[in-house]
Amino acid sequence: MVDWITNEAPKWIVVGTWLILNTIIFAVTFVSYRDADEYYYLRVLVGDSLCWARASAACLNFNVMLILFPVCRKLISFIRGSCGCCPRVLRRQLDKNITYHRYFAYMICFQTAIHVGAHCFNFERLAAAKRVTEENLVNYLSRLPLTPNGTWINPIRVADPDPTREVVKTVAGITGIIITLCLVLMVSSSTEIIKRSYYEVFWFTHHIFIIFFIGFVIHGAQMIIHHQSNLSAHPLPKCAENPKGWGSSECAIPEFEGSMPRSWIWLLVPAIIYCIERIARLVSGLQKVVILKVVSHPSGVFELQMQKKGFHAAPGQYILIQCPKVSYLEWHPFTLTSAPNDDYFSVHIRREGDWTNAVAELCHVDEGEFQETWKMPKLYVDGPFGTATEDVFAYDVSVLIGCGIGITPFASVLKSVWYKFCHPKETVPLQRVYLYWVCPDTHSFEWLQGLLLDLERQMRQRGTVDFLKFHIYLTRGWNANQARNITLHDEGSEYDVVTGLHHKTYFGRPQWEVVFKQLAETHKGQSTGVFFCGPKPLSTTLHKLCNRLSNFADKTKFYYNKESF
């Protein structure tokens, strides 16, 4: 039976509430501009497009206010760590912060499209109104003010206007073009392919949001949308029927004034919170980090063991590292591979690009001999930032699935789980841990193989071989020699030929359907937490399997958690 509610409902409740709020804001603003008497004459000039423009502007205010909150990492980590009630449900929604950030961004793009379109119509119609020669209401309105002290309703003040030129004469027009261009640049540099291949382009371009926010706040500063301010002396719609009679005791000449811009009110609180967040990140990033040890591993991987005052991390969290000697602007994320119980924190860095190679050289990785601490480069560390693996103790059974480099956070989790199992300070529900590691080959993960060997050995010593179970799947395949070697040695050997573990290696990709069905069978009635770090298509498959195999009837529940940076 599909137990969709376990995994999906909270997210859809949040999204549904947000969509409903947007609809309400849009509808209320639309109706108020459509029906308000003070905008009667403006509606005569431009029609419905005024309502569309203002309603979308209200939604834009709302979403631009919301969009900064999901990216306040420190704030989210703080809430995550300290919420007492409904912890798991709320924490799993907080993990989806980047998803929500994207949803808010899509809504901003959608509302921007409506807003820009509506204002194009507005300006074209205002320009057309200026060209009307017939003596009608539109003409009268566009000719205002009739006296030197009077006020205008049509912001276009020249006789034969070109809408394009008029728009670029206004503050709203120029800021509108600039901030929409910023939005297009931010969106185009945030696509998956750019984020994955050239993270710096995404990171630096996204900081254009500062220009976006400044432009957003001053967008309405010129106050060119005027409403009528003397409705009591000029009752509507009576006086609209006879514009020739304006100036009499019954119908005074209509007076207009602009409204104060309100966007800054929406933005004030999130802007302050975000500034505090960035300052907090800067301050915590500047505290001294001591490199205790640099360990060189095979395949171009090196490990940095560090210490920093007041640093506490939960299993599976990540940190951002900056090395000013290499670059003042770049902060790179690395998953922590040490457990909270270690008296240092460590990351394993693979030498792949310019930054990692430069750091390796500064840490004297290639020199192969003991180096003094003063020779190590200065590093700054920000974080740790939370991920889903903190919850691994909360379930009866935890299934950790890592693909390729996605296995890295689970190193810390395994260490932490094993430590807690050996030194139980309080009882946790966790009874069994399964690790599924899918990779093309174990190249550049020899250090993790070493950890698994160690854990297996310790388990055999304690006699508790059932607590941790590893399944390693090598997907790249094998050549004829390897195949021959494996077939010859596999039958009689206790140890796996490839990894040296007691747990045998599998070749090829796992059949997740079969794996999950067996897990559901073996652990009927228990809650199983599935933690995954790897490519999206597999994440979707596993997510669906979790939903499908969760069973209300016998309380078998699969909770899906995806890690991402």
Partner 1 sequence: MGKIEWARWANENAIASSCVVIMGGILAVSGQFELWQVGVYSIIMGVLMILLEYPRGRRQKGTSPERKFQFPLSVVVSKGRLLTRSYLVRFIVYLIISVPCCFILPTLLGAVCYMTTGCIYLAAGISGEEWTPIGREPMQQGPTVFEEIRRPPPRGPVQEGTDTKNKL
**Neighbour-count burial for 76-103, b at 16+ CB within 10 Å, e otherwise:** bbeebeeeeeeebeebbbbbbbebbbeb
* Choice between 115 and 281, CB closer to partner 1: 115
| Residue 279: partners with Cβ closer than 8 Å, 6 or more residues away | none
Query: Which lies closer to partner 1 via its Cβ, residue 71 or residue 486?
Result: 486
Kind of pairing between the strands at 557-562 and 432-439: unpaired
Smallest distance, partner 1 to C-beta of residue 176, A? 8
Instruction: Give the nearer residue to partner 1 in terms of CB position, either 192 or 343.
Output: 192
Minimum Å gap between C-beta 357 and partner 1 is 11
Minimum distance between the CB of residue 472 and partner 1, rounded to whole angstroms? 10
Nearer to partner 1, 163 or 402 (CB): 163
Nearest distance, CB of residue 397 and partner 1, angstroms: 10
Instruction: Choose between 25 and 59: whose C-beta lies nearer to partner 1.
Output: 59
Give whichever of 7 and 528 is closer to partner 1, judged by the CB atom.
528
- CA distances for 431 relative to 18, 420, 434, angstroms: 38, 11, 10
Residues that bind partner 1 (CB under 8 A): 113, 116-117, 120-121, 123-124, 128, 163-164, 167, 177, 180-181, 184-185, 187-189, 191, 193-194, 197-201, 353-355, 434, 466, 469, 471, 478, 480, 482-484, 486-487, 490-494, 502-508, 511, 514-515, 518-519, 521-522
Please state the closest distance from residue 166 (CB atom) to partner 1, in A.
Answer: 9
What is the nearest approach in angstroms of partner 1 to the Cβ of residue 210? 18
Q: Which two tokens stand for residue 428?
A: 């946790």
State the amino acid at position 544 in one-letter form: K
Q: Minimum Å distance from CB 201 to partner 1?
A: 6
Distance CA 52, CA 48 (A): 7
Please tell me whether residue 332 adopts helix, strand or coil conformation.
strand
Say which residues have a Cβ less than 8 Å from residue 253's Cβ, sequence separation at least 6. 144, 146, 147, 150, 234, 246, 247
The partner residues of 506 in beta bridges, in order of sequence, read 473
Q: What angle is formed at CA 204 by the lines to CA 289 and CA 188, rounded to 5 degrees?
A: 140
The string over 430-452, giving b where at least 16 C-beta atoms fall within 10 Å of a residue's C-beta and e elsewhere, is bebbbbbbbbeebebbebbbebb
Nearer to partner 1, 242 or 487 (CB): 487
Q: Closest by alpha carbon to 332, among 344, 345, 346, 318?
A: 318
